Structure 1
Amino acid sequence: MQIGHFNRLRIIRFTDHGAILDADGKDILMPKKYVTDDMHAGDEVNAFVYLDQSGRLVATQETPLAEVGQFAFLEVAWTNRFGAFMNWGLMKDLFVPFSEQGKRFVQGRSYWVYIYIDEKTGRIVGTSKIDRYISDDHPTFAPGQEVDAFVWKQTDLGYKVIVESTFEGLIYRNETFSAIHIGDKLKAIVKQVRDDGKIDLALQHSGKRLIDGFANTLMRELYNADGFLPYGDHTPADEIADRFHVSKKTFKKTIGALYRQRAIEITDDGICFAKQRED
């Protein structure tokens, strides 16, 4: 049985308070609100185990926003003189002591935390000191590989992210063409793994793959705009980024490729679907 995780536990008996589960020889209460009519003694249930307000082991069928050993972007439900209490999807809020807060948490705001078991108390707690839980192992991702990335914090260079809930990565500010916010969960593309183990990421594929993908997007946009879009060489780069979330360089390469394929025509005012042309 693992505290802070889902476990397969056997029902021993039922009481007025709920079901008693066997956890490695220990009796754990699953409160009555989680007991259903189709549960019987001897059945196994999948339950999340944690400590209640009195420090007793308790099982629940609620699903937390994260488990022990994971990162989560959580909202502060309330604070007191000991620390902050985060809403993580369970009846009992997750405690983050002041000593584990980089900056003092504010009620109603959300912060990245890592969830772990405090060795002194045995309780599940959180910390905002994310750096010490980022893996020191050297990543083995290949360039072009798609990964999950959580936006962790903003820097002068761009956005630090947590890659696959394990490694540190960076998305450069000058390579983002849509709004990014702390707490966002993104699909990102590995550009390279640096010698120091940090990962450079992009939000789009590069080269021909990017152009091919954007070409399909642009043709759909043309269709939805009745065959004409007022964008071209004359359009400022920031307008293209705001409208299509790509760089002007990618936009120009794509419309050039579509023109050579005779899919579009380029006019002084923009681009439109091509008319049938004779060779």
Structure 2
Amino acid sequence: MTELKPGYIAQLTVKGQEGSRWILDGGEHDIFVNASEFDETPEIGKKIEVFLYMNRRSELAATAHKPKMTIGTFGWGRVIRIDEKEGAYVDIGSSFEVLVNKADLPRVKALWPKMDDELFMTLRTDLGGNIFARLATEERVLELIEEAPKDLFNKKLNARAYRLLPVGSFFLSIPENYRIFVHNTEREQEPRLGEEVEVRVIDVHDDGTLNGSLLPRKEERLGDDSETVYQYLTDVGGKMPFSDKSTPDEISEMFGMSKAAFKRALGKLMKEGKVTQSDGWTSVK
């Protein structure tokens, strides 16, 4: 019999039942699995597929609930709780949770995953055979991704962040598994590790990887900015001491946008006949 190790799927023969547990043939030692895990009663003498792990008594045990990933394979694990001293505990789709050590998480805690975010990961074991999680490395991601078709340009994809760098964020689309890079100039704020977002494809490379943006299209941003300016105008009584002659610092402090964006927003409002400018003031028509 092949050596049985925690963290792997194994096919084991059912030997019989002992109380609330089924006995599986593990060679030198029997392996037990809770009877409550089976939808159908196992047949003695038949092989069944189970996932192996170390129980609290440091004994090799099995579960019929096979995880989304094993040692050597990768999948998405859902974050179920955060411990600031230890890291992120993740549901792997099996009968127990595993830990992503805080050393593997971003240094900035604001970028740590939150509950229900999902991490792209694999499983490992420590010297005692206890299972923990490790995030997928870039090298492994490149081996696992799918090649994106050219017609994805300007399309929107749902994706989760799997790697965060100062220069930008790396995502995997779900469920397609396309790799998407979003430069830091193409986002308003940095996403959390494991956060799911909607990414707009702005480039499709020859190798099938993508560049994306988390910013709305220019015409959508123009609409949002003009609505912000017009709302401010109406809130302050229809007249404000800001115009296209205002300084960039004044505009940034008051509206949180660049002077170029502010001028485009004013231009849109003037073209629509909603506002006028005079002597450095902007007024509602």
Q: If the length of structure 2 is used for normalisation, what is the TM-score?
A: 0.55
Whether 1:92 and 2:96 are equivalent positions in the alignment is yes
Distance 1:137 1:105, change over 3 A: closer
Say yes or no: does 1:133 pair with 2:135.
Answer: no
Tell me the equivalent position of 2:204.
Answer: 193
Q: Answer yes or no: is the 8 Å Cα contact 1:72–1:114 preserved in 2.
A: no
Letter in 1 for 2:121: I
Q: Distance in 1 between matches of 2:263 and 2:107?
A: 47
Q: Distance in 2 between matches of 1:261 and 1:133?
A: 49
SS of 1:255's partner is: helix
The structure, 1 or 2, with the larger RCO (C-alpha pairs under 8 Å, 6+ apart) is 2
Identical positions, percent: 14
CA offset at residue 151 of structure 1?
Answer: 3.6
Secondary structure of the corresponding residue to residue 169 of structure 2: strand
Report the AA paired with residue 22 of structure 1: D
Q: Give the distance between the partners of 2:212 and 2:253, measured in 1 at CA.
A: 18
Structure 2 equivalent of residue 158 of structure 1: 168
1:100-249 residue pairs with structure 2 within 5 A? 110=112, 113-116=119-122, 126-131=133-138, 132-134=140-142, 135-140=144-149, 142-155=152-165, 157-164=167-174, 166-176=177-187, 178-183=188-193, 184-228=195-239, 231-233=242-244, 234-236=246-248, 240=252, 243-244=255-256, 247-249=258-260
Q: CA deviation at 1:262?
A: 0.8
Structure 2 unaligned blocks of 5 or more: 1-7, 10-19, 22-33, 45-49, 56-60, 70-74
Using the alignment, how far apart are the partners of 1:261 and 1:209 within structure 2? 16
Tell me which residue corresponds to 1:22: 39
Deviation at 1:231, TM superposition (A): 4.7
TM-superposed CA distance for 1:144, in Å, is 2.6
Residues of 2 paired with 1:175 and 1:108: CA distance? 20
Q: In the comparison of the two structures, how many residue pairs are matched? A: 224
Partners of 2:250 and 2:205 in 1: CA distance: 30
Which amino acid letter does the alignment assign opposite residue 240 of structure 1? Answer: S
Q: Which residue of 1 aligns with 2:58?
A: none
Q: Give 1:255 deviation, angstroms.
A: 1.6
Unaligned runs of 5+ in 1: 5-14, 28-48, 61-65, 275-279
Cα distance in 2, alignment partners of residues 152 and 89 from structure 1: 17
| SS, match of residue 179 in structure 1 | coil
Q: Map Cα deviations across residues 37-63 of structure 1 (whole Å, 9 max, x no partner).
A: xxxxxxxxxxxx976752321669xxx
Bigger radius of gyration among the two: 2
Compared CA separation, residues 96 and 179, structure 1 to 2 (3 A): closer
CA-atom RMSD, angstroms? Answer: 4.8
